[in-house]
Amino acid sequence: MSIKLTLLKSGETLISETKELVAEDQIAPVSYLVQHPHLVNIKQVTAPDQKEGDFGIDVTLTPWIILTSDTEMVLPTDWVVTIVEPMSSLKQMYVDKSKTFKVTEGNESEKLESI
């Protein structure tokens, strides 16, 4: 899996470890598996001493579906608008946060069979 930004039809932008799920007889993916998806929240900020038209952004990452203990979710392809490479600073922010939710030895055996 690799860390990607996923724009959904709903307008939400997710950052997660993302993998294409392809059926045996297909070439195109039938869905995407996202692991530890986080919603990318962007807020425009301006400082009092900034020139007109200058602004900064404040980026926060929050768990996408906060009331679940699931760490992997399947996204149907028809809900995905595009998948892109995140900026290096955002990717590093996700990697730093991922240290708090990495899979432990006891969770490694959990697979998608239960879905």
* pTM beyond 0.75, yes or no: yes
Task: List, for residues 73-102, the tens digit of each pLDDT value.
Answer: 999 999 999 999 999 999 999 999 988 876
Domains of the chain (ranges, CATH numbers): 2-102 (2.30.30.100)
Closest CA to 80 of 23, 2, 16: 16
What are the residues whose beta carbons fall under 8 Å from the beta carbon of 95, sequence distance 6 or more? 3
Helix (H, G, I), strand (E, B) or coil at 101: coil
pLDDT digits (tens, 9 = 90+) for 7-65: 999 999 999 999 999 998 888 899 999 999 999 999 987 767 767 766 688 999 999 99
Summary count for the chain: helices (H), strands (E): 1, 6
Query: What is each CA distance from 109 to 20, 36, 40, 91, 114, in whole angstroms?
Result: 20, 16, 29, 27, 12
50: enclosing H helix or E strand:
none
